């Protein structure tokens, strides 16, 4: 049960970053930045609105990664975790006080 609660907390924090931009940083790769602005905007909106999490694409229930198609472009978004104090110690993704979240939006071919 504790593991389910922990994963749900991580998913809530990840969803907050993904849907609102709050609670972390968001980056686009060079490949994404090279696309027309309209495609970039559509990709950001698709990432924000994504809700089709299933056991197949989200086996750990943390809402930390997905693959989508936006205007014929295969897009991957993923959330990584880093220690907030840059100590190099593994962060606890369930604890926003010690963990920096970074959402990266990239072309699938860049992964």
Q: Measured between alpha carbons, how far is 75 from 70 in angstroms, rounded to an integer?
A: 7
Structure confidence by residue, pLDDT tens digits, 62-81:
999 999 999 999 999 999 99
Q: Tens of pLDDT along 41-68?
A: 999 999 999 999 999 999 999 999 999 9
Torsion of CA 33, 35, 41, 45, to 10 degrees: -90
* pLDDT score of 1: 67
Q: What end-to-end distance do the CA atoms of the chain give, in Å?
A: 34
- 61: its two tokens: 């229930």
108 neighbors 29 (Cβ within 8 angstroms): no
Q: Which of 75, 11, 92, 3 has the alpha carbon at shortest distance from 41?
A: 75
Which band of pLDDT confidence, cut at 50, 70 and 90, is reported for residue 84?
A: confident
């Amino acid at each position: 049960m504790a593991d389910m609660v922990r994963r749900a907390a991580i998913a809530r924090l990840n969803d907050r970053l993904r849907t609102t931009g709050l609670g972390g940083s968001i980056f686009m790769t060079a490949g994404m930045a090279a696309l027309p602005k309209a495609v970039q905007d559509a990709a950001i909106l698709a990432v924000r609105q994504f809700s089709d999490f299933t056991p197949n694409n989200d086996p750990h229930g943390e809402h930390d990664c997905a693959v989508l198609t936006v205007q014929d472009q295969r897009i991957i978004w993923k959330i990584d975790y880093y220690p907030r104090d840059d100590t190099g110690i593994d962060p606890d993704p369930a604890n926003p006080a010690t963990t920096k979240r970074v959402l990266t939006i990239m072309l699938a071919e860049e992964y």
